[in-house]
Amino acid sequence: MEKEFIRVRSTKDIVITLTLIIAGCILVALPTSTPVNICGFFMIFAGIILLLILKTGYKEVGSGAKYCKIERYFSQDMHADIKEMLEAGSDKLDLSKEDKGNAVRLDIYHSKSAGKAYLQLFEYIPYKYEPCSEVYEYELAKASKLIGK
């Protein structure tokens, strides 16, 4: 199965940036001291920069459904276990061994509205992660242990 996800702005991103911009405008508009006005200009500037670069959401190219992404890192000795788990369609993964290395990365895209989760395994080849498995589709209820909710 070939799935492609692109980065998009999530609702949380928009709320954060608009809050910074509005709070900065309020600080600039109020008749206060110069340091408060400078702080307001800084908040406006930070909000505009974040609005341009902050994209924490993901969208599936085919359907347009929005997803959240979780990355889990494992050591190299977990590579075979994770690949077997994905191929078997199981959710039996020992999460206690997470963060004991960074040779293998498991990407989990999940969406409550779509009710699905997509999992893909990546292996670290110097300077970047390369996919070493196909994208596996799970029902959200079955992948909830891997998501951590």
Q: pLDDT digits over 4-51, tens only? A: 889 999 999 999 999 999 999 999 999 989 999 999 999 999 999 999
Query: Quick check: 80 pLDDT over 80?
Result: yes
My answer on whether 74 and 139 are in the same domain is yes
Which residue range is the domain that position 9 belongs to?
Answer: 5-58
Query: Quick check: 145 pLDDT over 90?
Result: no
Query: Quick check: 89 pLDDT over 70?
Result: yes
Mean pLDDT of 102-117: 89
Q: Cβ atoms within 10 A of the Cβ of 35, count?
A: 8
Q: Does residue 64 come out as left (phi exceeding 0), alpha (psi in the -120 to 50 range) or beta?
A: left
My answer on whether 76 and 133 are in the same domain is yes
User: How far apart (Å, rounded) are the C-alpha atoms in residues 135 and 24?
Assistant: 43
CB contact at 8 A, 138 and 118: yes
My answer on whether 79 and 48 are in the same domain is no
What does the pLDDT read at residue 1? Answer: 58
Query: Quick check: 149 pLDDT over 90?
Result: no
